[in-house]
Structure 1
Amino acid sequence: VAVATPGGADAAGGGAAAGGDHGDQVADPGWREVIAYYRACLAEAPSPEALPVRGSEAADWFPMTDGAEVLISGAEATTLAPDGVDTFDWKERDVWYGYPVVTLAGAGRRHSGDPLAPSTVAPLLVRRAEVTVDARGAAALRPVGPVLPHAGILQACLDDQEAASVLAAWRQSWKPGDRGQLLVAIRQLLKRLGLEELSPLDPAALRAVDQKTANRTGVHNTACVLYVESERAAQQAVSAELAELGERLADVPGTALEFLGKPVGLRTTTRSAVAPVFPVELNESQEAVLTAAMSRPLTVVTAPPGTGKDDLIVDVVATAVAAGQKVLVASADDAALQRLADRCGTLATGLLIKTGDAQARAEEKQIVRELLRSIKDESRGRTRGAVAADLAAAQAQVRAWRDRLAERNDLETLLRKTTAARAAAAERLGVPVDVLAAAWRGDDAGLADWIDRARTLTETHLMGGLRRRNLVLAFVRAIADAGADADAAREPLLDPVAYDSLLLFARAEERLREDRREVLAVSDDALDLEGRELSARVAELSAELLAVVVAEQTGTARERLEARRIALEPGGRNRRASHRELLSHLGGWAVTPQDAGQLALEPGMFDLVVIDDAHHCPVAAALPLLFRGRRALIVGDPRQRLRPPALSDHRLRRARRGAGLSAGFLAERRLSFRGDSVFDAALPNVEEPLLLDEHDGAHPGIARIVDEHFYEGRLTVVTDVGSLPRAHDAETGDATLLLWEDVTGTPERGSNGGSWRNQAEIDRVVWAVKELRDQLPDGATIAVATPFRAQAEELRSLFRFEPVPVACVADGDPADCDAVVLSLVAGDGMPEQTVRWAQGQTALWSAALGRTRAHVVTVGQHGFWSRRAGLPALLARMSAVRSFHVRPNPPEPLESAVFTDPLIELLCRRLADAGHTEVEPNAVVDGYRVDVLVRTPSGSTAVLLDRGWPGEDADAARHLRLLLRRRRLLTGLVPESGLPPVTRVLRVPAWQVRSGEPIDGLLD
């Protein structure tokens, strides 16, 4: 999009004046003001959420029980710190001062069901402070931030939506030193939270907590100091990077950062002849992304769960390193980044080196040592040139194979047209196709000779009628010689007006025989096997090439590696410089955005920067990364959102105005500090994001729900169902894919409010997890997801000794798992607004289902959700339903499909005529739909009708490749109709059905 002028005509720090030309706006996207805005936001500490346990004063909190309250009210600039608070600067912990102290019974969880759970405490209003030393040498507190409500208290007393609203709208309403107005503000907030004063509040005279009411929920006239785990170090690191970037804005042109603010119409594309390297096989959509990433300055990719983004990134890194380019992979998810580094490490040690914090540097040091040891190993394999030549030849064979797939599609499309023309000619003649086709069966030369003579006689006038009649009689004799009913054909064929139609039929028959021989020369099995063998050969050669390339790069980097090893030692120096020097030899690196400060900040030092899970990466953290790269690949999921920081609207507005930016500018550019990720910011700057469109992970019955509900039905499911772990009922042996546990529980919240929970659902979730654990094979994974924080906290406490992760809206992406249990909580009696909020949590629902492979168990009120909309309602309609300890009832059947496809009807008629009595059209085989399912003596045969692909060659090749893969995926699966397992899968082209041709194994 064109860059709007932030704040005013000249607010962009030298930006284009109003009315300036388009090029001026592109030249200065206003990064200076944006950076100032982000740094101001990063300087604001979000409100703490931690709720210390009462009685743990020595570790987490320290009460202040005498004197006057002076820091929240603003009466004084400092106050003496309580005993136990020292002046040491704990980098990993922040100091917060607050008043008044709130006690929450039941460990802060409303209706926890555990009356013996320890109480938690936290101040209602907090203010970040630093510990200094006063004139007498005593520890003192000095406030360094604004007054805020404690986020943990809000979340305990309100649901998540209300808590976020209160926090966002908060603004201090009293003047410094006005304790009367402070009390008014406190009591207004207490009323909203439903908390009572256990002792009269008087900021002028603090008191100790009365032990009689110490464990009751309520408010005490006490102040305290909290130690809270801090994100300050990460925020300061990003802020420092932004400050350094702000001094180098003149170097932005030529980097990927330039294209984050460049209109699509002015975006250039760099041409590259980089040869791709595929240690992991990619599909066509993944290859398109790789090609774009190696040539375009900015590539944005939509990657739904299970679509192979890790495979893509591994091959992107491999291609870049093999081409001698430098690539940086960044992800806010440290575990995901480590997983990518490990996968690359299995291909070649040093292909992708993860650096960053102390642990990452320790692991990097081990890799450096391993690389140094490898230099001493003089054993060498093949040369780089030889391997590269073999790889190029193998890739050429893959391209040739795909060309043959496209040609096969074109030929079968032509056969379909030829068959239609032949059938039309036979219909005009009034003679069955099989009778006419019998002429010169097995004697193509005889048919060709007849066609040549017939063409010659078409325009002959001298005795033409007699000669054409004799030629037609020859055709009739050929029919008779083949044993067909020539008498029935004689009269209609001898009609003079039938001559042209007969010639047309003969020409179509000749073409059909010729093309049929070519098609049948190579079977589908042989074609599929050839493709798999070629892909395996390319992967093998790619891995060999990477090993050779990294070994060569390592061999020239002995001194640089030794310097890097020394720099990585505890207390080592010159880490940035040692990395910069090593980068000229080893080009693959990985880092989290908050640890990017370990790398030098130089423009375009990497040829390519890959930001994985970009939907979780704030724009502020991404700017220095993009500055370091010439090109950028942004990979994310639009259904997932960045978790917004707990900053009030007032504080964000103050930061924006201080930087001279307008709200419209940030909204248009999608650069807001709250809620906008680098994926959001990059989207307006590309014509259209590329889509990874093949899902391999979840059962088709699950993946199709996610696809149709969240991704507009654009995904193709290719999951190997046979490899999924399944939960089989011990009595029936059935494995229910979608199960709804019908629970008539009561959603409830405490008398003081708080997030919602449902005890009946909690009990059923525990039971469902136990049942899944008993039925699933060893090693299978189970997860739980719920939209409500209180429900999640209670379930976490119950599963604290088991490997069952519990996710809610406030968390990141749910974990990948074999089975998920969804606890909906909502039901009759819950406010409509809260119900709509729960059913609208698309990020949670799409991630929870998209990352689940085999089973979805939904716990909730079935009747309540069946009447609603959204994904829970869809699950209510599609799931088998059961009450406690009762065998599940199957879901209500959807509207029966009307089989109006003439091709399927024709095939079913042919099968019935051939004696097949058990034929099922539009059958479902363990989640996959097949056109026709036929029972045979050896089992069931699935038929996939191939209607051809009318589009471009690449799409035609993909169409046939997917059908060949579907044949493999269906083999061995059990049909839902009760027919025997599938023992054979046939791809039947449309022409073969219409022509009456034999179908191997079905119609001879």
Structure 2
Amino acid sequence: MSVPSPDSFVRDRRRGGPARAERDPRSVPSNGSRGSNGSGRPTGHDGDVTVLIVPPAAPSRPAAAPPQPEPHPGHHRTGDGRIRALLDYYRACVHREAVLDHLIELGVTDSATASPTHICLPAGAEALFSGAGEALQVPPEAGALLRRAERDGRPLRYGYPVVLLAPEADDGTGPGDVIDSRWRAAPLLVADVEVVPGTGESRVRAVSEPDINPALLRRAGITHPDELAALRGVLRQGNPEGARPHDAVVGDLEAKVRTLLTRLDTDRVDDILPRAMRGTLPQVYPRAGAHNVAMLFRAGPAANTAVEEEHPGTVAGLLADLDSGHRDGPRPGQAVGTALEALLEGELAAERSAADGGGAGGDAVPPVAAARLTEAQYAILRSAMRERLTAAAAPPGTGVDDLVDAVVRTAVVAGHTVLVAAAEESLLDRVVSRAGEAPGHLILRTGSPEHRTREIRSLERLAEQPPAAPEPAPHDGGLRDDWARVDSAWRSIDAIARNGHVLALLAEERDRMICLGWDPDVLFTSERGDPGYWLRRAERARGGGFVALAHRSAIRRELGVEPTPDNLRQLCRAAKVELDWRTALDRRGRVPRLTDLVADLEAAQACHRLSGASRLHSAVTRRAGQGRQALLNRLETLNWHHTTGWPGFAHLLAVVPAWAVGVGSARALPPQAGLFDLVVVAGADQCRMAEVLPLLYRAKRALVIGDPAQSAPPTLLEPAEERRLRGAAGPTWLERRPELAHGGSSAYRACAAATAAAGRPELWLDEHDRSHPAIAAVASRRCYGGRIAVATDPTRDRDTARESGAPPLESAMGGRAVEWRHFSGECEPVPGASAVNREEAYRVAVVLQELDGSLPEGAVVGVIAPFQPQWALLRRLVRRQRFRREVRVGGPEDFRGAEDGAVDVMVVSPTVAVGASARLADRAVGADQVWATALTRAVSRLIVVGDRVFWAGTDGPLRDLCASGHTGDGENAALRALRGALGERGAPFTPGPSFHGHAADLCVTAEAGQVLVLLDQAENGPELRRLMAHGDLLTRLSGHPSVCVPAWRCLHDPGSVAEEILHADPRER
């Protein structure tokens, strides 16, 4: 049973009544289209937002742009006005992009009216693009198409020549002998058209300039802004049509079409002759490629979509979720206190959060986690439980699954409702799988009919449980105590690390003072007095009067220092350094041993996990025992009512508080402001803000997680068109928030900018445990500013690695982790600011054959290049051969997703070589997105096939790979002192030994055998804890004991440290 729409126009149309007003078929519906007052005028300040179209090329038929809505005074200054403007802007962009990305379905008609979705124009001469006429005569059979487009508010488009796209069947059946519903069509050149007024339905005219079909460009993988602009420049170059004869215009059109088809690697099935078009497409034995046919078609979603057609995961569903005038759309006035409001407020959001006591009070319950919780994860979790908007940077392999699982468990124990949304289906599957099944802790998936079936089964299992007796609210004292032990161990280790860092700085300063002749051990003895005593006397001696004179005399008499102004200043400095040094040493001697603290931390974390699991079980059992009626009501709704599934959902949240949904499927959930206490959005770097905005509206608090090294998802909108849409929504403030632009920023970057404006520090997941250390180290240095610590254990077997996302044994992949195969080919420029290197591509194909024969079964190989023609050529070469291993070829978009895009071996074809033009070289070197993708998606091996001479002279990630990932960092002063002490004692040592990609500072041959030495330069607790874990990992990898030596001791007394390494128990730290 469908929910009736309040729109009288929609009601009239469904009942067969006349339409109330004519609409521009290219306009995008906004608030007024669903919230009319019956007079044809929008109520309040809700107006129509229309897509602005480029003026027609022919000056003799100017087309006026539809009027833009006039907002009421202060519309964009109020909170709800800004939200409304942002919704209208995103809705216009999403609708227009859907029009541009439209592929024509062949072999189908409109199911509701049996009207065609497209029509081939009669044979003859092409008129619009060749300049033969200002309008196009359409056949009578196109009337149904035109009428349906006008009723639905769907734009009409014209295109020539038509490119047939064969179905990509996975079952091996092939495209078949006839055109069926699996085939798609996309004209190469397209333009928006409209019916010429006063001609009935017999003529249409262009209302935009010709453009290369963006849908074809995206399908070909051409999404880089420079390439898009260059290809459009190829089409639009030349003199205006009026300045040349018609034959010259036609010839120029033929030449441009041939150039573009070649660039898109599209076969010409017909001779493309604008003077002699064919009138139909072949229905039997079709061939994919360009056909000399022109087509008129409806594009994009209908402006007036029925409620039952607004399915989750569709463009229509997203448009409804962005329509504040929709009966079931967002209400800007109700967004107060939501994460969406925090996104727009910035500094004001921070002030309001402070006034409210920090949000929801995340300190009310300690964290709950099934795995080991790191300091970085806890910092993000704590912020998510307190702040209305939290942005967390999560490079691939840093434990997003663990973080999301811990956030969900903590929220459930705290009595909050939580929603997990992700761009990757695999991430949602893993999160749901880790949670468990009913009747225990579970996360329910929603968003599709398949998920609804699973939800019914889970709810039935919950309802079948016998009613439990009411239990008192569980006491979480044990959980709090265990977490207090973890926090105490963290603080103690942090104190040791910070004190050690201070000691190292003071040791360097003491050495400098000694070199200048101010030896603290000589000046400040027990007989002469402590440094604090002489610091006070020296400071007073720098004054005036008889008292200062007496102090200067004492300094001369007792210390033997001439009290000149410079000497007094140096004495103050030496005394202060020595006082701080002795204080830090005393502090160091009063703390427990580091090894004991690490053991206490591990024990406390184990107890905390057990108590957290017990507390979670109690919370889940208590909820289920109190919500049996809500379960039965929900089951009745799902089984008997074919609706959206919204009725009774809010009551169900009291029983099942944790849910999961795809980012684009928020429409599966009731459009209620603040429906969930917490919404977690993972993979937000792969999403536009328009997709995440409905989730923030449903969230009181939101945690947005993304990879900062990934760029925004590509957009099909031209920059000028996007700017016009933005200006129509509210130029006075959107211009100051460029991160909210539809095509210029990802959802993660937009939320990160908002949290930065609120004055909150960046939050990072900073421990990597997936890729080979040699690869991950370059990625950390080049993509993340060295923030990421690499903790990958390469000794895991392949099956375990596959399950955890970590790499298998190095030997299993049969080669070095980072390898450069030098080859220099000719870099040829191609139209569209791009290039191809054919010799290099053929050499890559040889490398792929070699890998296919040596890699273990099930391995996945990726091939990436900075230019689309290069990876398109590589893709053709791969398809011609039969590989036993899966080989993925493409650009960054083909490897999107931190987990879905990961490959065991990544092969890079950098394309540019010595002799390439400066323009191509600059673009290749600056292709940060390509190099970030190669570095962060390669798990076990990274192979570069290209001109090593050229890339060694550049400043980019490939320069590091030329040196096999090693850097020439200067030697530390503490390490230099330790090496000198070992050399004086004749102890053999090896600097920088590496084991499976993990390096130690020294490998010393001691009395008991070889010992690995790690220099402790940690500035805080997390760094020190990771250093200890690194030592344990090196011991497992090498079989040699490891020892961590403080840098301050190496600076202060390197001889004693060397003696301890050579003679003492290496496990004593």
- What interval of TM-score do these two structures reach, taking the shorter chain for normalisation? 0.7 to 0.9
What is the 5 A alignment of 1:285-300? 285-300=376-391
Equivalent position amino acid for 2:436 in 1: G
Q: How far is 1:912 from its partner? A: 3.8
Q: How far is 1:856 from its partner? A: 0.8
Equivalent position amino acid for 2:777 in 1: R
Task: Give yes or no for the alignment of 1:847 onto 2:917.
Answer: no
What is the 5 A alignment of 1:295-334? 295-334=386-425
Q: How far is 1:812 from its partner? A: 5.0
Q: Kindly indicate whether the alpha-carbon contact (under 8 Å) linking 1:329 and 1:590 is maintained by their aligned counterparts in 2.
A: yes
CA distance change for structure 1 residues 97 and 307 in 2, over 3 Å: closer, same or farther?
A: same
Q: Equivalent of 2:159, from 88, 91, 98?
A: 98
What are the superposed Cα offsets for residues 571-596 of structure 1, whole Å, 9 maximum, x if unpaired? 63461013222012222112123211
What is the 5 A alignment of 1:768-779? 768-772=847-851, 775=854
Query: How far apart in 1 are the matches of 2:277 and 2:583?
Result: 103
The equivalent of 2:978 in structure 1 is 907
Task: Give yes or no for the alignment of 1:371 onto 2:423.
Answer: no
Query: How far apart in 1 are the matches of 2:85 and 2:432?
Result: 36
What are the superposed Cα offsets for residues 610-650 of structure 1, whole Å, 9 maximum, x if unpaired? 22222222222222211111122222223212323323456
Query: How far apart in 2 are the matches of 1:509 and 1:802?
Result: 61
Task: Give yes or no for the alignment of 1:594 onto 2:664.
Answer: yes
The equivalent of 1:973 in structure 2 is 1037
Query: How far apart in 1 are the matches of 2:392 and 2:519?
Result: 57
Q: Kindly indicate whether the alpha-carbon contact (under 8 Å) linking 1:301 and 1:689 is maintained by their aligned counterparts in 2.
A: yes
Task: Give yes or no for the alignment of 1:75 onto 2:136.
Answer: yes
Q: Kindly indicate whether the alpha-carbon contact (under 8 Å) linking 1:330 and 1:337 is maintained by their aligned counterparts in 2.
A: yes
The equivalent of 2:1052 in structure 1 is 994
Q: Kindly indicate whether the alpha-carbon contact (under 8 Å) linking 2:467 and 2:625 is maintained by their aligned counterparts in 1.
A: no
The equivalent of 2:83 in structure 1 is 31
Q: Equivalent of 1:856, from 914, 930, 942?
A: 942
CA distance change for structure 1 residues 841 and 150 in 2, over 3 Å: closer, same or farther?
A: same
Q: Equivalent of 1:642, from 712, 715, 725?
A: 712
Equivalent position amino acid for 2:822 in 1: D
Query: Which secondary structure state, in structure 1, belongs to the residue aligned with residue 820 of structure 2?
Result: strand
Q: Kindly indicate whether the alpha-carbon contact (under 8 Å) linking 1:80 and 1:140 is maintained by their aligned counterparts in 2.
A: no
Query: How far apart in 2 are the matches of 1:70 and 1:426?
Result: 90
Query: How far apart in 2 are the matches of 1:552 and 1:660?
Result: 48
What is the 5 A alignment of 1:64-213? 64=120, 66-67=122-123, 74-76=135-137, 80=141, 98-101=159-162, 123-126=187-190, 148-151=211-214, 161=224, 164-165=228-229, 186-187=253-254, 189-190=256-257, 193=260, 199=271, 201-202=273-274, 206-207=278-279
Equivalent position amino acid for 1:738 in 2: V
CA distance change for structure 1 residues 629 and 218 in 2, over 3 Å: closer, same or farther?
A: closer
Query: TM-score w.r.t. structure 1 length?
Result: 0.72
CA distance change for structure 1 residues 714 and 206 in 2, over 3 Å: closer, same or farther?
A: same
Query: How far apart in 2 are the matches of 1:259 and 1:534?
Result: 36
Equivalent position amino acid for 1:934 in 2: V
Q: Which moved more, 1:60-69 or 1:353-362?
A: 60-69
The equivalent of 2:37 in structure 1 is none
Equivalent position amino acid for 1:261 in 2: L
Query: How far apart in 2 are the matches of 1:904 and 1:816?
Result: 37
Q: Kindly indicate whether the alpha-carbon contact (under 8 Å) linking 1:593 and 1:622 is maintained by their aligned counterparts in 2.
A: yes
What is the 5 A alignment of 1:872-883? 872-875=958-961, 877-879=962-964
Equivalent position amino acid for 1:904 in 2: L
What is the 5 A alignment of 1:548-563? 548-563=618-633
Query: Which secondary structure state, in structure 2, belongs to the residue aligned with residue 982 of structure 1?
Result: coil
What are the superposed Cα offsets for residues 442-496 of structure 1, whole Å, 9 maximum, x if unpaired? xxxxxxxx989999xx9xxxxxxxxxxxxxxxxxxxxxxxxxxxxxxxxxxxx99
The equivalent of 2:795 in structure 1 is 722
Q: How far is 1:240 from its partner? A: 0.5
Task: Give yes or no for the alignment of 1:257 onto 2:347.
Answer: no
Q: Which moved more, 1:530-539 or 1:43-52?
A: 43-52
The equivalent of 1:686 in structure 2 is 755
Query: Which secondary structure state, in structure 1, belongs to the residue aligned with residue 674 of structure 2?
Result: coil
Q: How far is 1:849 from its partner? A: 1.2
Query: How far apart in 1 are the matches of 2:346 and 2:585?
Result: 56
Q: Equivalent of 1:394, from 482, 489, 494?
A: 482
What are the superposed Cα offsets for residues 729-775 of structure 1, whole Å, 9 maximum, x if unpaired? 79xx984121012233445688x889755454444444434544555
Task: Give yes or no for the alignment of 1:668 onto 2:747.
Answer: no
The equivalent of 1:786 in structure 2 is 865
Query: Which secondary structure state, in structure 2, belongs to the residue aligned with residue 935 of structure 1?
Result: strand
Query: How far apart in 1 are the matches of 2:138 and 2:817?
Result: 63
What are the superposed Cα offsets for residues 26-52 of structure 1, whole Å, 9 maximum, x if unpaired? 645522222222222222234458799
CA distance change for structure 1 residues 860 and 104 in 2, over 3 Å: closer, same or farther?
A: farther
Q: Kindly indicate whether the alpha-carbon contact (under 8 Å) linking 2:335 and 2:341 is maintained by their aligned counterparts in 1.
A: yes
CA distance change for structure 1 residues 363 and 415 in 2, over 3 Å: closer, same or farther?
A: same
The equivalent of 1:43 in structure 2 is 95
CA distance change for structure 1 residues 527 and 801 in 2, over 3 Å: closer, same or farther?
A: same
Query: How far apart in 2 are the matches of 1:873 and 1:416?
Result: 33
Query: How far apart in 1 are the matches of 2:941 and 2:344?
Result: 43
What are the superposed Cα offsets for residues 766-816 of structure 1, whole Å, 9 maximum, x if unpaired? 443454455555555433323325146326635787433334134351622
What are the superposed Cα offsets for residues 798-836 of structure 1, whole Å, 9 maximum, x if unpaired? 578743333413435162233222222333565543443
The equivalent of 2:9 in structure 1 is none
What are the superposed Cα offsets for residues 543-562 of structure 1, whole Å, 9 maximum, x if unpaired? 23223222221222222223
Q: Which moved more, 1:347-356 or 1:268-277?
A: 347-356
Query: How far apart in 1 are the matches of 2:716 and 2:515?
Result: 75
CA distance change for structure 1 residues 63 and 970 in 2, over 3 Å: closer, same or farther?
A: same
CA distance change for structure 1 residues 742 and 414 in 2, over 3 Å: closer, same or farther?
A: closer
The equivalent of 1:110 in structure 2 is none
Q: Kindly indicate whether the alpha-carbon contact (under 8 Å) linking 1:722 and 1:973 is maintained by their aligned counterparts in 2.
A: yes
Query: Which secondary structure state, in structure 2, belongs to the residue aligned with residue 670 of structure 1?
Result: helix
Query: How far apart in 1 are the matches of 2:783 and 2:586?
Result: 47
Q: Equivalent of 2:682, from 612, 636, 641?
A: 612
CA distance change for structure 1 residues 360 and 95 in 2, over 3 Å: closer, same or farther?
A: farther
The equivalent of 1:441 in structure 2 is none
Q: Kindly indicate whether the alpha-carbon contact (under 8 Å) linking 2:421 and 2:679 is maintained by their aligned counterparts in 1.
A: yes
Query: TM-score w.r.t. structure 2 length?
Result: 0.68
Query: How far apart in 2 are the matches of 1:675 and 1:419?
Result: 49
CA distance change for structure 1 residues 800 and 253 in 2, over 3 Å: closer, same or farther?
A: farther
Query: How far apart in 2 are the matches of 1:330 and 1:596?
Result: 8
CA distance change for structure 1 residues 155 and 425 in 2, over 3 Å: closer, same or farther?
A: closer
Task: Give yes or no for the alignment of 1:545 onto 2:603.
Answer: no
Query: How far apart in 1 are the matches of 2:1063 and 2:330?
Result: 76
CA distance change for structure 1 residues 796 and 225 in 2, over 3 Å: closer, same or farther?
A: farther
Query: Which secondary structure state, in structure 1, belongs to the residue aligned with residue 390 of structure 2?
Result: strand
Q: Kindly indicate whether the alpha-carbon contact (under 8 Å) linking 1:123 and 1:224 is maintained by their aligned counterparts in 2.
A: no
Query: How far apart in 2 are the matches of 1:326 and 1:728?
Result: 43
Aligned residues: 866
Q: How far is 1:239 from its partner? A: 0.9
In structure 2, runs of 5+ residues without a counterpart are 1-48, 51-67, 108-115, 129-133, 169-178, 195-200, 263-267, 303-308, 534-556, 561-575, 797-805, 1065-1069
Query: How far apart in 1 are the matches of 2:69 and 2:144?
Result: 49
Q: How far is 1:683 from its partner? A: 3.2
Q: Kindly indicate whether the alpha-carbon contact (under 8 Å) linking 2:857 and 2:885 is maintained by their aligned counterparts in 1.
A: no
What is the 5 A alignment of 1:410-425? none
The equivalent of 1:274 in structure 2 is 364
- C-alpha RMSD of matched pairs (Å): 5.6
Q: Kindly indicate whether the alpha-carbon contact (under 8 Å) linking 1:786 and 1:823 is maintained by their aligned counterparts in 2.
A: yes
CA distance change for structure 1 residues 904 and 128 in 2, over 3 Å: closer, same or farther?
A: same
Q: Which moved more, 1:593-602 or 1:772-781?
A: 772-781
Equivalent position amino acid for 1:397 in 2: R
